[in-house]
Structure formats: C-alpha cells, structure tokens
C-alpha cells in the first residue's frame, strides 16, 4: 500500500503532501458522473508533475496513426477521448503571491475522496511570504444534474490580506499522448452572457463534436468583492475578483460550471439551455447541490454496496472499485461504453475493448437494472455494420463480422498488427455477453430483436477464419494471438479455438430455437442476412471437428501449438529485479518465453466452467498459474475466482487483494496513467462469483460460498431477473432476503430453497 493512503471504509485519504506521487494521486482521486469526469487535479495553479485532464463521454478524435509499416487492413487512426475545456481552474494570489504548492510547500495537507457522498475534499495550509492561508476545497460532478460540476473553495486568513481570484473556462488544452503535441480543437470562442456568466464553445477537428461550457461564481453573503472584471480571449473566458480578508475571516468562493455537448443538446440550443441550467444551479446553491449529490449516491450504494466484516483493507478496496465504475458508466445511453481508464487518464485512448463484455457486463447485471447491461449490448448491435466492414477490409465475405479490438464508433482503430489482425478472440466475448445477459435476466426477446443478427455475423467470421488440416483431419485456426499477448502469431490458441466453436454452436442453437417457434422475426433476419439452414449445418460441422491442442502426458490442453517447446521455468524462479518482464525484457525474449500475461486457457475455463469437472479445473490451474506473471490488470480476478473454485482459498485471497488494490497500491507501477476501470469490475466478480460462489444454472441463482479466513462476513444486494436479494454470508451460515420481486427459488450448496416475497431464509 502507498504509505500515505489511509485505510478508511468509505474514504480514500492522502495524509501529507507527496509531490513525487502527484500523478498517481490525481488518478486515484478522479471524479465523474458517467457523462463527464476529471482527474483529481488541484484547482489552483500547480507547476509540478501533473496531468490535468477533464473529459466528456463520447467526444473523441481520430488521431492519425499511418506509419511506414502500414499494411492493407490497418486502421487509419487511433481514437482518443479528448482532454476538454478546463472548468475547474481557480488561480489564487495572496498579496500578489500566487498559490502554487510546487513552489510553496504546504505546512499541512490532506486530500479525501468521500465515496459515500461522491465528493472530493482537500485542505491545506500554506505560508506565502509573511501571510498564512488555510484552504479547503470541495468538488463534485453532479450525479443529479449530469451537466454540472461544482466547486467550493474556502480560504481563511490568519493575517489581514488581499486575495485575488481568477476563475473561468480554459479551452487551451491538449492530450498528453497527442502526436506532435497536436491540438484537437477548433473554432473556439469565449465571451460572456452579460457578466459574470462566462461561456466558451469549441468543436473537435475532423469529428466535429460541439462542446459548450458556462461558469458562474458566488461567495458568502456579507462579503463584497473589492474589484471584479471579466477577461476573455479566443481560448479563455472568466472573471477576476479581489477580496480583502481580515485575520480569522473565511471566504467561501463557489464555482458552478455547466458542460454541454451536441450528443445531447442541439448547438442552436446551447446558450439557452446552458443559461437555464447555470441559473438553476446558482439559485439552488452549494449546500443544496451537495445534498442532491449525496442522495444520488445513496440510491446507487443501496443496490451495489458490499460490506466486508473483518478486513478494512478489502472493504475500502471494493468500495473504491465500485465507486469508480459508477462514476464512469451509468448505463443511460447505448452510444457510450467503458474505456479501460474511464475518466481517470488517457492511456488506451478511452476506447472500448472486449473488457466490457468479459468483465463489466456481469457487474452491471448484478448491481443495476437490466437496461444498463442491455445498453452495453445495444452498443455492439448498433455497430454490427461496422464490424462487417472491419471483416471485409481483411478479406472476409458474406456478412462475416469482426468486432474491433479498440473502437469508438465500431470501426477498428488499433494499429498493432498482432492485435488488429490476430487477437480475434474478442469476437467470442461479444457473443458470450449475449448469452450471459439472457441467461441472467431471462430476457429471451433480446435474442430475436438484436442478438441473433450479431451471432450470425460472428459465426460467419469463424467459419471463414478456420481451415481444414489434412494432417490433423480437423479444422484449425492459424496465426492468432490469444488473451496472452506475450504470444503473437501462434497456431491453434486453445482459448480462441474453443470459444469459436462455442460461438458457432450457440448461434446454430439459437437459430434452430427460433425456427421451431416459427418466428416472424426469424424470417426477417433470414431475409436480411440471406441465411439458410445449410450454412447453419456448416457451423455445426466445423465446431464438432475443431482441433484443440492437448498434451497426453500432462493431461492438459495446451495454450497453443508448440507451447511445450518453450523452456518451462516457473515465475517463482525469476529474479525480482527482472519483474515486471515487460519493463525489463526485449519483446523478442518475452515472445520466446513461457510466461503468460493473463488468463488464457484459464479464461476459457472461467467462461465454460461447467464443461470440465473439478479435477480438470485443478490440473489446468496448477499447470498454468505458475507461468503467469499477471502483468495485465485483467488477470488476478479470473485467477482468484478459479482458485476459490478448486478450494485454494489462500491463492484466491491473494489474487483478490491484487486486483482490488491494484491502483490504491500502484501494484503495476502505472496508476499514474489512470485507474484500471474495467478490471475493477473483475474485482466485484472475485467476491460475487468467487467468495460468494454465485452462478446461474437451470434458470436459478446458485450460491456456493467460501469466504477468506480473515473475513467474518460479507453482506450485499444482488439483482437477478425480477428479484432484488439481500445476501449475508458468514463462515457457517447464509441469509437470503427477497427484497423485491415475486416468490423465488434459489440453491445453496446444491440444495433448493423457496424465498417468499418480502421474506428471508436462514441456512446453517
């Protein structure tokens, strides 16, 4: 654990000033509301190490990536969510000396993320020349008013002084990873709607998204500004104020900012709606807006909180993970998705990966209404035409669909060949998410309305991607990269072959199921896709004759052809000075090693666990985990779930802490780039699917819990179909309460129990 981060059940607290870790802290203390978000930067000027970032969901730029080794099929760009208008800046000077904690070390410093209330708090004391000032800030992105950001900056003078404040909207922003420091915005204008309401408008180059921001200020009654005037130029509009404070006096300076985008508001309506919303916020005032924020988060926590008794470190960690997930995505817009860093940083461009389907959808299924997960599926359905285009660029035909590894609008925008062309297993995750959603929610209608079309495109891709091997007398898949990205261009990656076969089988099953129902919708789909039963039979033939590499001596499936040609040295024998290997080894050495970045074969055992008995699970875990370096944030959660399944509770807990405190402890030495948002959903899975043992089988919810020895109990709520269950698990008992929905039957340790509406059961 970073020694300056205190362990509190509902708070992340940084005690003391630690400028050497400033970018790590900025990531950890990020805030957002699903519509917008920003890193935990200081409001006032800070000339030290920092990545100042404010981001708006869905606003991106296609940064050019065409380089000398460009080949046919490569994407033309890498999409990036843009660092947008800086609305939180408040420059402050005391008797002519500017507050800059990089130049004036604070006498006292404390930063606190209140996860229960959704508020970022900070307080510090600084001495500037002969004047000492105590400062306190409170900031949040409103969960109730999605376009609103709010700041209260309080200053208490220990001696008489003059305070100068400059606060406004700054459009001179750039992304940290921009090519050649490229500026992504154009047509910026800044002015006033009659002072003191400042506004700034700009649009993105190429994609032409429009953004409109406004801000207004208020301070405590009875205190008058000695001077006030507006300042504006092409990239900035704001107000400057001067106050005279006597010793002991406190100035509460409030800033209200409205950020609009043309994803939600027509440009011709920007000014009217912006003025209306800024005036409503101004009239409501800081305390009312803060109360709204607390109430909104209280409603969220009511359904998604996990209480852990006996382990404060684990308790803080799971709440931090849940908090960041709901700050990133609230599920009310099917055009949006979940970037690996959310609003906390710029790495990975803020684009959509297969992380959403494999990790995030299970989280939202259990903690939010079904519409949230359904919108994530609709995101992919709406992009099916683009997935077909992506496949066509690579030479596939007849409506075959290859979903992108990285995307904003459905078009592939990843420029590494081993990812773009070869890491095609992502197609399987898209199909699996449809299966997982329907199994969990019981929403069978989704298959006919949207799901089957996606499955058809995916099945067609797999059917064209395989080829028949006369040597093996099986269908094989050549030149792929599995989830283990430390292996490129291999033949017959077991996981890819297995999920491809499953996809074709599942698509055929669903087609045949709708055929038996003589569905009118199926006739529409057949006409639209030109699908006939002979093609479906072809899928079934391929999947039943797929090749899976296997070692008879060890009795394990092989990660890919040739895996045993490697020198099999366990990770435990690697010197710590060479870890992480991605930072110490050449890529050539990594590719020739046996080391596994993340669950690969074991990812398949996680998805398709019921296809294998316990002994097979144990044998494969024991073979592959010792070679796994877990240098992907997505790895520890899967290993925790599987370790718990085979009864290795010590390993399960070890991997839980690794995934849960990945960012808080900066385990991978990369939290400075942003938090690992999508793997945070995996942390929730380690508790729900791991320690609580939750599964869906035969249309029923099953629990098979096994808690870590350190934990006395866990308590959480879980949505399943029409029900909301309250679940408490102790070492020797389980309590289940039917909080919402009809009478239901659940299974605990394989035994079925009836849980009546508004009643609970207790199982010893």
Residue 567, token pair as written in the block: 């020198």
Measured distance CA(542)–CA(666) in Å, rounded: 45
Angle at 744 between CA 741 and CA 747, to 5 degrees: 135
Residue 503, token pair as written in the block: 């996809």
The single-letter DSSP state of residue 750 is: T
Among candidates 141, 308, 300, 374, which has minimal Cα distance to 683?
308
Measured distance CA(573)–CA(627) in Å, rounded: 10
Measured distance CA(687)–CA(678) in Å, rounded: 16
Radius of gyration of the chain (CA): 27
Per-residue CA distances from 679 to 57, 277, 668 (Å): 19, 35, 13
Measured distance CA(665)–CA(463) in Å, rounded: 44
Query: Would you say 405 and 412 are in contact if contact means Cβ atoms under 8 Å apart?
Result: yes
Measured distance CA(168)–CA(564) in Å, rounded: 62
Measured distance CA(417)–CA(189) in Å, rounded: 40
User: 632 φ, ψ to 5°?
Assistant: -115, 140
The single-letter DSSP state of residue 305 is: -
Measured distance CA(637)–CA(634) in Å, rounded: 7
Measured distance CA(494)–CA(601) in Å, rounded: 6
Bridge partner residues of 256 (DSSP): 150, 216
Measured distance CA(485)–CA(489) in Å, rounded: 10
Bridge partner residues of 229 (DSSP): 240
Query: Would you say 655 and 637 are in contact if contact means Cβ atoms under 8 Å apart?
Result: yes
Among candidates 154, 155, 150, 156, which has minimal Cα distance to 120?
150
Residue 521, token pair as written in the block: 């919708």
Q: Is 564 exposed, middle or buried (0-12, 13-18, 19+ CB in 10 A)?
A: middle
Angle of helix 370-382 versus helix 452-465 axis, rounded to 10: 50
User: 280 φ, ψ to 5°?
Assistant: -65, -40
Residue of 203, 277, 485, 631 marked active site: 485
Measured distance CA(357)–CA(365) in Å, rounded: 11
Measured distance CA(735)–CA(762) in Å, rounded: 4
Per-residue CA distances from 88 to 22, 60, 237, 531 (Å): 17, 21, 13, 54
Per-residue CA distances from 288 to 173, 284, 293, 323, 467 (Å): 31, 6, 9, 22, 64
Q: Is 300 helix (H, G, I), strand (E, B) or coil?
A: helix
Q: Is 19 exposed, middle or buried (0-12, 13-18, 19+ CB in 10 A)?
A: middle
Instruction: Determine whether 485 is an active site residue.
Output: yes
In 344-489, beta strands by DSSP E: 467-469, 474-476
Q: Catalytic residue numbers? A: 485
């Amino acid at each position: 654990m970073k020694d300056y981060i205190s362990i509190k059940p509902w708070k992340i607290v940084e005690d003391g000033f630690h400028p050497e870790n400033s970018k790590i802290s900025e990531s950890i203390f990020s805030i957002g509301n699903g519509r917008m978000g920003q890193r935990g930067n200081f409001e006032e000027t800070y000339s030290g190490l920092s990545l100042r970032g404010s981001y708006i969901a869905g606003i991106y730029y296609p940064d050019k990536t065409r380089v000398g080794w460009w080949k046919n099929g490569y994407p033309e760009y890498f999409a990036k969510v843009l660092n947008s208008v800086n609305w939180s800046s408040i420059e402050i000077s005391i008797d002519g000396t500017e507050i800059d904690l990089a130049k004036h070390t604070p006498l006292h410093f404390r930063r606190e993320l209140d996860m229960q209330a959704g508020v970022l708090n900070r307080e510090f004391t600084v001495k500037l020349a002969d004047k000492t000032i105590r400062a306190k800030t409170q900031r949040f992105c409103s969960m109730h008013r999605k376009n609103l950001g709010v700041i209260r900056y309080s200053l208490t003078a220990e001696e008489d002084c003059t305070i100068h404040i400059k606060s406004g909207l700054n459009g001179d922003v750039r992304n940290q990873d921009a090519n050649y420091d490229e500026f992504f915005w154009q047509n910026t204008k800044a002015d006033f709607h009659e002072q003191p309401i400042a506004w700034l408008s700009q649009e993105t180059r190429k994609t032409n998204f429009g953004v409109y921001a406004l801000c207004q200020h208020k301070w405590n009654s009875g205190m008058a500004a000695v001077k006030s005037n507006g300042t504006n130029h092409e990239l900035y509009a704001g107000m400057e104020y001067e106050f005279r404070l006597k010793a002991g006096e406190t100035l509460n300076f409030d800033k209200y900012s409205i950020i609009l985008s043309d994803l939600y508001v027509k440009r011709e309506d920007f000014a009217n709606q912006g003025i209306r919303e800024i005036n409503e916020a101004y009239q409501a005032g800081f305390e009312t807006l803060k109360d709204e924020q607390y109430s909104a988060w209280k409603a969220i926590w009511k359904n998604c909180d996990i209480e852990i008794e006996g382990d404060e470190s684990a308790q803080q960690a799971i709440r931090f993970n849940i908090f960041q997930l709901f700050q990133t995505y609230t599920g009310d817009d099917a055009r949006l998705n979940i970037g690996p860093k959310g609003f906390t940083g710029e790495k990975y461009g803020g684009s959509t990966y297969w992380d959403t389907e494999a990790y995030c959808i299970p989280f939202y299924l259990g903690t939010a209404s079904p519409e949230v997960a359904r919108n994530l599926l609709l995101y992919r359905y709406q992009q099916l035409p683009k997935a077909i285009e992506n496949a066509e660029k690579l030479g596939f035909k007849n409506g075959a669909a290859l979903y992108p590894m990285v995307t904003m609008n459905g078009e592939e925008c990843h420029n590494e060949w081993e990812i773009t062309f070869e890491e095609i297993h992502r197609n399987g995750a898209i199909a699996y998410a449809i299966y997982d959603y329907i199994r969990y929610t019981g929403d069978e209608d989704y298959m006919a309305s949207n799901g089957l079309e996606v499955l058809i495109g995916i099945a067609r891709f797999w059917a064209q991607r395989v080829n028949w091997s006369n040597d093996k007398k099986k269908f094989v898949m050549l030149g792929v990269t599995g989830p283990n990205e430390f292996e490129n261009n291999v033949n017959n990656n077991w996981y890819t072959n297995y999920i491809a076969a499953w996809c074709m089988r599942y698509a055929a099953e669903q087609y045949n199921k709708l055929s038996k129902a003589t569905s009118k919708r199926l006739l529409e789909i057949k006409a639209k896709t030109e699908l006939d039963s002979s093609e479906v039979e072809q899928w079934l033939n391929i999947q039943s004759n797929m090749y899976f590499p296997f070692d008879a001596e060890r009795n394990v499936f092989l990660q890919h052809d040739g895996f045993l040609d490697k020198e099999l040295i366990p990770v435990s024998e690697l010197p710590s000075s060479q870890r992480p290997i991605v930072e110490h080894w050449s890529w050539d050495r990594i590719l020739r090693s046996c080391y596994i970045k993340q669950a690969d074969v074991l990812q398949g055992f996680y998805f398709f666990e019921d296809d294998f008995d316990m002994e097979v699970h144990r044998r494969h875990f024991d073979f592959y985990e010792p070679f796994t370096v877990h240098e992907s944030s997505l790895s520890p959660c899967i290993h925790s779930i599987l370790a718990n399944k085979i009864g290795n509770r010590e390993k399960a807990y070890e991997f839980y802490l690794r995934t849960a405190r990945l960012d808080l402890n900066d385990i991978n030495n990369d939290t400075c780039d942003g938090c690992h948002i999508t793997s945070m959903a995996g942390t929730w899975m380690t508790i729900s699917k791991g320690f609580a043992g939750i599964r869906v089988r035969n249309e029923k919810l099953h629990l098979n819990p096994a808690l870590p020895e350190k934990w006395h109990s866990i308590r959480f709520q879980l949505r399943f179909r029409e029900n909301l269950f309250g679940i408490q698990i102790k070492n020797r008992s389980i309590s289940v309460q039917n909080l919402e929905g009809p009478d239901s039957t659940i299974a605990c340790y394989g035994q079925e129990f009836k849980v009546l509406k508004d009643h609970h059961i207790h199982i010893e």
